[in-house]
Amino acid sequence: MGDKQSRAALLKKLFKDRKRTNILAVPEQYLISFLVKRVPRCLTPNGLTVIGLIGSLLVFIGFVLAGAIDRDYLFMSIGGLVINWFGDSLDGRIAYYRNIPRKWYGFSLDIIMDWFSTVFIGMGYWVYVEDGYEVVGFVFVVLYGWAMIISQLRYKITDHYTIDAGLVGPTEVRVILALVMGIEIIFYHTIPFFAGGMCIVLFIINCKDTGKLLRLGDMRDREERKKKMP
195-208 residue pLDDT tens? 999 999 999 999 99
Taking Cα atoms as reference points, which of 167, 115, 169 lies closest to residue 141?
115
As a whole number of angstroms, the distance between CA 32 and CA 109 comes to 20
CA 20/CA 15 separation, integer angstroms: 9
Count of domains observed in the chain: 1
Please report whether residue 130 resides in a domain.
yes
pLDDT of residue 17: 66
Mean pLDDT of 5-27: 73
- The pLDDT assigned to 14 comes to 72
For residue 83, the domain's CATH number is 1.20.120.1760
- Reported confidence tier of residue 162, pLDDT bands at 50, 70, 90: confident
What contacts 51, CB < 8 A, 6 or more positions away?
A: 83, 86, 87
Per-residue model confidence (pLDDT) at position 194: 92
Tell whether 230 is covered by a domain.
no
Phi, psi of 100 (to 5 degrees): -130, 40
To which H or E segment does residue 115 belong? helix 103-128
Higher pLDDT, 162 or 206: 206
Instruction: State yes or no: pLDDT of 230 exceeds 80.
Output: no
Average pLDDT over residues 24-33: 87
> What's the pLDDT tens digit per position in 39-48?
998 899 999 9
Residue 4 lies in a domain: no
133 domain-assigned: yes
Closest-CA residue to 64 (of 149, 155, 128): 128
Q: Decide if pLDDT at 1 tops 60.
A: no
Q: How confident is the model at residue 12 (pLDDT cuts 50, 70, 90)?
A: low
Q: Domain for residue 50, yes or no?
A: yes
Domain that holds residue 41: 17-222
Q: Please tell me which of 9-13, 25-29, 219-223 the model is most confident about, judged by mean pLDDT.
A: 219-223
**What is the total residue count of the chain?**
230
Report the C-alpha gap between 137 and 151 in whole angstroms: 21
- Whole-number average pLDDT of the chain: 89
115 domain residue, yes or no: yes
| pLDDT at residue number 101 | 85
Query: Is 67's pLDDT higher than 80?
Result: yes
Give bridge partners of residue 168 from the DSSP assignment: 165
Interatomic CA distance for residues 203 and 136, integer angstroms = 12
Interatomic CA distance for residues 97 and 177, integer angstroms:
29
Asked whether residue 227 is domain-assigned, the answer is no
Residues in CB range of 86: below 8 A, 6 or more apart: 35, 48, 51, 52, 55
Model pTM score: 0.88
pLDDT at 185 over 80: yes
Burial (CB < 10 A; 0-12, 13-18, 19+), residue 43, is: middle
Terminus-to-terminus CA distance in the chain, angstroms? 53
pLDDT tens track for 102-134: 888 988 998 999 999 999 999 999 999 988 888
Q: Distances in Å between the alpha carbon of 48 and those of 55, 70, 127, 140, 197?
A: 11, 30, 27, 25, 32
Residue 12 domain flag = no
